Amino acid sequence: MYSFLRDLPRFLFFTGKGGVGKTSLACASATHLADEGRRVLLVSTDPASNVAQVFGQPIGNRITAIRAVPGLDGIEIDPQQAADDYRERIIGPVRNLLPEAEIASIAEQLSGSCTTEVASFNEFTGLLADDSRIAGYEHVVFDTAPTGHTIRLLQLPGEWTSFLDDGKGDASCLGPMAGLDKTRATYASALARLSDPSLTRLVLVTRAQPSTLVEAGRTADELAHVGITEQHLVVNALLSDPGDDPLATAVHAREQRALSQLPPSLGRLTRTEVALRPNAVVGVDSLRELLNPHPQPVRPTGDTTAVEANGLAELIDELAAQDHGLIMCMGKGGVGKSTVAAAVALALAERGKTVHLSTTDPAAHLDDVLAGASDEHLSVSRIDPQAAIQAYRDKVMRTKGARLDDAGRAQLAEDLMSPCTEEVAVFGEFSHLVSQARRQFVVVDTAPTGHTLLLMDATGSYHRDIVRGMGPGQRPVTPLMRLQDPALTRIVIVTLPEATPVQEAADLQSELRRASIEPYAWVVNQSIAAARTSSPLLSARAATEAPHLTEVSRLAARVAVVPLLPDEPTGSRGLHTLIPEPATI
């Protein structure tokens, strides 16, 4: 048995950068524990959960038995469903007691993105701290969203507990004060359980890649700072036997280099290495095989149909026909959004276009991808949630606060300390980026899908608020309307040629179309079939790409295929393996 599953406490959290295999390992671990006869609840806190796809059955926002695994139940926390249920719990009891206008006012107060976050957070803390909901389970396994948002989720019990303990009046989007004592007790209990090593273990999942290991190291430090100290490290999908294939040899060498330079906070942890498997981890049989420490040897599969790697050049030629616009790279965590965004931004800047590259992902670090690559026409920033919050609070106090007396200003300052202020502040920064795209190129590396959809929801909520407040004949121009304008906004969906990323990308495309936003192109990244290899293991994985590449061709208006590269595509040299070299004078 792998060490991270020995002497298990009751609560087990899997976290890490997008695309490292958190869901696969969380599902495999939950299945393993249930196979040993234990009662297990598997909880996904990822707004773009793939747990249902892995088990091949619907799950959703209610505790549901996993048919193929006796003893295992699952639940996927759906932010929108949680928000609907939350609103109904508040409004339902008073719907027939209060005037219609007052009910409408309460509903409007509870329609923002912060209510969605609070509702999801309440679901999470309930499944961690409410014994009436989890009494029947020996273990509760959490499959979390990618790192940045999971750090925030795990910090929130402390932040909300402090806010409620310090608060004296209105609790904003938490709803009526009645019931807050129970809420306070639940948050405090969640905080205590998270920081008790006899109750909670954190499994940091990573790949043997420098940027992923650095992010895992930061996560280990930040969560230790909030008291989550029982941590294990799992290095997933390691290519252990490269043979004599040049691509496999190069990938193996760079993985070993990365592991030899572990951040200090990871070097202290107990480490487990899980080998790369020849097939995607979908279905119960593959979940059981994933935690088999002695997998069957891979047999050669024969020739793999060659796939043309057409790269990003054609897309960049078309984008460069304009001199301004918003280009947003979206997709599942770990598919290479930051790399594609940086490559596109650098290529446009090298053609003399004024370009601003930014990110809405709190865990993203574009500096690591650029690694010194620059151009006189290129500027770079990131939306820092903490800086955004402070700027938002200062602005509100300077404007709205200026019209209040001392008591009113004190109340306003207290309200602005609410943890959900972050969502509003980040949306404000995002809106500013959208506005800039009228005069120059703005390339945005977005957060993983689930949280990007929440950002889109915030954009829609803001649009509806503005339209409601406009007088007859007035026509506002909101950020949502700019996103819907195909002459201004180009959405680039990035994916890997694997089942889960392609399905998530397809779902994302459907969600965007429901908001009248039409994606511009898809980029299939790290295609092994387009890279050519004789390695039996990599060839077996290449053979699995065919149906997913066909599906992408069916769904996308434009497709670019980028091969798996021997070296990390970072820095000027690495990024220019994806884009044309700049013209020489």
The string of DSSP codes covering 416-434 is TTSTTHHHHHHHHHHHHHH
Give which of 569, 552, 6, 567 is closest to 270, Cα–Cα: 6
pLDDT at 206: 95
Q: C-alpha distances in angstroms, 344 versus 25, 338, 401, 442, 573?
A: 33, 10, 42, 11, 14
Catalytic residue among 15, 23, 31, 49: 23
pLDDT one-digit tens code per residue, 29-71: 999 999 999 999 999 988 778 899 999 999 998 999 999 999 9
Our answer to whether residue 375 is catalytic in this structure is no
Edge-first strand order for the sheet with 355-359 is 378-380, 355-359, 441-445, 325-330, 489-495, 521-527, 559-563
Q: Is the distance from CB of 355 to CB of 379 less than 8 angstroms?
A: yes
Number of other residues whose CB lies within 10 A of the CB of residue 463 = 18
pLDDT at 186: 80
> Domain 3-85+117-157+188-291 classified CATH 3.30.2350.10?
no
> Domain 310-382+437-578 classified CATH 3.30.460.10?
no
Dihedral (C-alpha) 470, 472, 476, 481: value to the nearest 10 degrees?
110
Q: What is the DSSP letter of 92?
A: G
pLDDT at 411: 77
Give which of 270, 274, 192, 267 is closest to 231, Cα–Cα: 270
Catalytic residue among 16, 18, 19, 175: 19
Catalytic residue among 16, 18, 22, 172: 22
> Is the per-residue pLDDT at 471 higher than 70?
no
When mean pLDDT is compared over 85-94, 103-112, 252-261, 472-481, the highest value belongs to 252-261
pLDDT at 169: 44
Our answer to whether residue 19 is catalytic in this structure is yes
Q: Is the Cα dihedral 19, 196, 191, 155 positive or negative?
A: negative
Our answer to whether residue 22 is catalytic in this structure is yes
Separation of alpha carbons 60 and 44, rounded Å: 10
> Which pairing describes strands 72-76 and 64-65: parallel, antiparallel, or unpaired?
antiparallel
pLDDT one-digit tens code per residue, 79-89: 778 888 878 87
Catalytic residue among 16, 18, 21, 74: 21
pLDDT at 321: 95
Tell me the two tokens of residue 184: 């306070």
> Is the per-residue pLDDT at 373 higher than 90?
yes
Our answer to whether residue 21 is catalytic in this structure is yes
Catalytic residue among 24, 211, 272, 359: 24
pLDDT one-digit tens code per residue, 152-210: 666 665 666 666 666 544 445 555 544 566 677 787 888 889 889 999 999 999 999 98
Catalytic residue among 45, 46, 148, 452: 46
Separation of alpha carbons 156 and 162, rounded Å: 10
Q: What are phi and psi of 6, to 5 degrees?
A: -85, 145
Span 342-358, mean pLDDT? 96
pLDDT at 89: 79
CA angle (124 as vertex; 123, 125 as ends), nearest 5: 95
**Contacts with 576 (C-beta within 8 Å, 6 or more apart), sequence order:** none
Catalytic residue among 49, 150, 339, 500: 500
pLDDT one-digit tens code per residue, 295-321: 777 766 655 556 777 889 999 999 999
Our answer to whether residue 23 is catalytic in this structure is yes
Separation of alpha carbons 374 and 367, rounded Å: 10
pLDDT one-digit tens code per residue, 321-343: 999 999 999 988 889 999 999 99
What DSSP string runs through 349-363? Answer: HHTT--EEEEE--TT
Our answer to whether residue 332 is catalytic in this structure is no
Q: Is the distance from CB of 574 to CB of 546 less than 8 angstroms?
A: no
Q: Where in the chain is the domain with CATH 3.40.50.300?
A: 3-85+117-157+188-291, 310-382+437-578
